[in-house]
Amino acid sequence: MPKNIELTLDGHTYLLALGRSDGQVTLRTTLDGEPLSETSAEVHEDLPWILVRSGGRVYRCAVAIDGHGVWVSVDGRSLFLEKVSTRSHTAGSSEAASAEVRAPMTGTIIKILVAPGDRVATGDQVAVMEAMKMEYRLEAQLDGTVECVEATEGQLLDVGALIVKLTPAEPA
């Protein structure tokens, strides 16, 4: 029986139906209610790492689960997928969640690339973190201005620790 998970990312809602059979994981996904193509993969778990073989490619993902959602790091990019059931339903809550750059796993900040008052665009690097002998580029998830920087270079952070908080840019 598939396990259903509802997550949000950048204001979009993903409904994931995960099923396992004969060593394969099948993923059926809808994005904002529209079905996406079904994906099958061979998955090997050795948390925090997950190795996924699909479509002739191999993906090594770092995964950290907390009470609010799932941190996923793939190809040096980190994303936080928020559980819908834990989200506040107040106005602007999705902006507040994506305005925070948090540690995707326990690691050390090796470079802070922004300072309070700096303007950033979606995808701009704001910090670099080292964890498990790999570097992770942490990026802004929206356009805005750096409100505060809570981490310092050389600081060891736990998963989910706030690194940079942004004030979202006003819509045009």
- For residue range 105-159, list pLDDT tens digits in order: 788 999 999 999 999 998 899 999 998 788 888 888 889 999 999 999 999 998 7
Residue 124 CA to residue 49 CA, distance in Å, equals: 25
Instruction: Decide if pLDDT at 25 tops 60.
Output: yes
Q: What pLDDT shows up at residue 87?
A: 40
Tell me the average pLDDT across 83-92: 47
Domain containing 110 equals 95-168
Q: Where does a domain end: 69, 86, 103?
A: 86
| 98 pLDDT tier (thresholds 50, 70, 90) | low
Residue 18 CA to residue 125 CA, distance in Å, equals: 32
The first and second tokens of residue 162, run together, are 């706030």
Q: Where does a domain end: 38, 62, 86?
A: 86
Q: How many domains does the chain have?
A: 2
| 101 and 78 assigned to the same domain | no
DSSP state for residue 93 in the 8-state scheme: H
| 104 and 127 assigned to the same domain | yes
Q: What pLDDT shows up at residue 121?
A: 92
| 104 pLDDT tier (thresholds 50, 70, 90) | confident
CATH of the domain at 50: 3.30.700.30
Q: Where does a domain end: 40, 65, 86?
A: 86
| CB-count exposure of residue 100 (10 Å: 0-12, 13-18, 19+) | middle
Q: What pLDDT shows up at residue 128?
A: 93
Residue 70 CA to residue 26 CA, distance in Å, equals: 19
Residue 3 CA to residue 20 CA, distance in Å, equals: 9
Position 22, amino acid = D
Bridge partner residues of 42 (DSSP): 24, 53
